[in-house]
Amino acid sequence: MEIQKLYDLDDIEFEDIAIGLVRLAKNIPAHEFFYKINQTNNLNFSRKKDLVFHGDYYDYFFPRFEAYHKYSKTCFTFISNKSSESKQKKVQTELFTEEENIKFLLNNQVDVEYILHSSEQFPDFSVILLPENLVFPIQDYTLSSEEELYQIIQYYE
In a domain, 57, yes or no: yes
Contact 146, 17 (CB under 8 A): no
Q: How many domains does the chain have?
A: 1
In a domain, 126, yes or no: yes
The CA distance from 131 to 125, in Å, is 14
In a domain, 6, yes or no: no
Quote the domain boundaries for residue 25.
Answer: 17-93+106-155
Length of the chain: 157
In a domain, 100, yes or no: no
> Would you give the end-to-end CA distance of the chain in angstroms?
38
Q: Long-range contacts made by residues 40-47, C-beta under 8 angstroms, separation at least 24?
A: 40/129, 40/130, 40/131, 41/67, 41/128, 41/129, 42/69, 42/70, 43/67, 43/68, 43/69, 43/76, 43/128, 45/76, 45/78
In a domain, 36, yes or no: yes
Kindly give the confidence (pLDDT) of every residue in the chain, 157 residues in length, as a single tens digit, with 9 standing for 90 and above: 444 444 344 434 457 888 999 999 999 999 999 999 999 887 899 999 999 998 888 899 999 999 988 777 888 999 999 999 999 888 877 766 777 888 999 988 899 999 999 888 777 888 888 888 899 999 998 887 777 787 777 766 6
Cβ neighbours of residue 111 under 8 Å, at least 6 residues apart?
A: 23
Nearest to 142 by CA among 111, 114, 121: 121
In a domain, 80, yes or no: yes
Q: Is the dihedral of CA 41, 32, 52, 48 positive or negative?
A: negative
In a domain, 114, yes or no: yes
In a domain, 101, yes or no: no
